[in-house]
Amino acid sequence: MAWKQDLAKLKQQLGPEAPAPKPPPRPAPKPSGPTSIDDEDAVFLSAMGQKSAAPRPTKLTTAEGAPEAKATVAPPPPESFQEALKELKGLKPLAKGLPDQATAPKPPPPAEPVQPTPPALVPLPAPTQAEVPTIAAPEPEPQVQPLMPLRFQLAAGMALEVDGTLDLRGHSLSDALERLKDRLGDGTVLGWRSLQVTLGPDPLLHEGLLILLASGQVPMVARFAQAPVPMGGNQAWLLYFGPTQTQS
């Protein structure tokens, strides 16, 4: 047939078939149960080329191939708790009931707390009158009232000699008073006895002069008077220095 010829040609082209791989060896069956120490020692000695000294005991196996377990016989349980205690050496069974309260040891009574004694209080000495400092109140200083110059009156028609003159006409009140203070200070230094002050008709300057004399700011003036008519009349004043203010 034609397909057989084609198959033979294909085999010639592919070449001879490769041998099939061999199946791997089956592993040795592992023991189903746990091995003992003697079996492990025998395996180790056989691997080293030696033999075990004592023959291994044969294990009892069951019908299924598993090692037969040794049957352990459990002792019968004791009949009661008291009989179980009797089997123990050196122990005696406990007597039934609670111990007598008379024979039982009594606990020691609690110790009473010791209260600390408070320290004795020492009374402080009462302060005496001598120990208390007394502060005397300061005495008020006596107020010295300034000496007021004495005003007197001169004869209207007489003319007098004076040591100095001061014309304050046309000045303001503050300027006139400052000039008057300076001239009185100069007269005290020069030893004047009298000073003629001309104020003019301005009543403000006359009032300011009288207030200055009454204030005590010019203590060198002991007396004053309205000037006579020949020396200015009601537009001028005569100021007299005190004896203590004269130059010695």
Whether 34 has a pLDDT exceeding 90, the answer reads no
pLDDT above 90 covers what percent of the chain? 33
Computed over every residue of the chain, the mean pLDDT equals: 74
Whether 55 has a pLDDT exceeding 70, the answer reads no
Could you report the per-residue pLDDT of 144-176, keeping only the tens digit for each?
Answer: 566 788 999 988 888 889 999 999 999 999 999
Could you report the per-residue pLDDT of 230-241, keeping only the tens digit for each?
Answer: 999 999 999 999
Q: Where are the domains of the chain?
A: 150-242
- pLDDT band, residue 79 (cuts 50/70/90): low
The reply to whether the predicted model has a pTM over 0.85 is: no
| pLDDT given at position 171 | 93
Stronger pLDDT, 192 or 78, i.e. the higher one: 192
- The arithmetic mean of pLDDT across residues 199-223, rounded, is 93
Could you report the per-residue pLDDT of 97-116, keeping only the tens digit for each?
Answer: 555 555 566 777 777 777 77
| pLDDT given at position 248 | 38
Q: What is the pairing mode between strands 221-226 and 236-241?
A: antiparallel
Distance (Å, rounded) from C-alpha 222 to C-alpha 30? 155
| pLDDT given at position 40 | 74
CATH topology of domain 150-242: Ribosomal Protein S8; Chain: A, domain 1 (3.30.1370)
Stronger pLDDT, 54 or 231, i.e. the higher one: 231
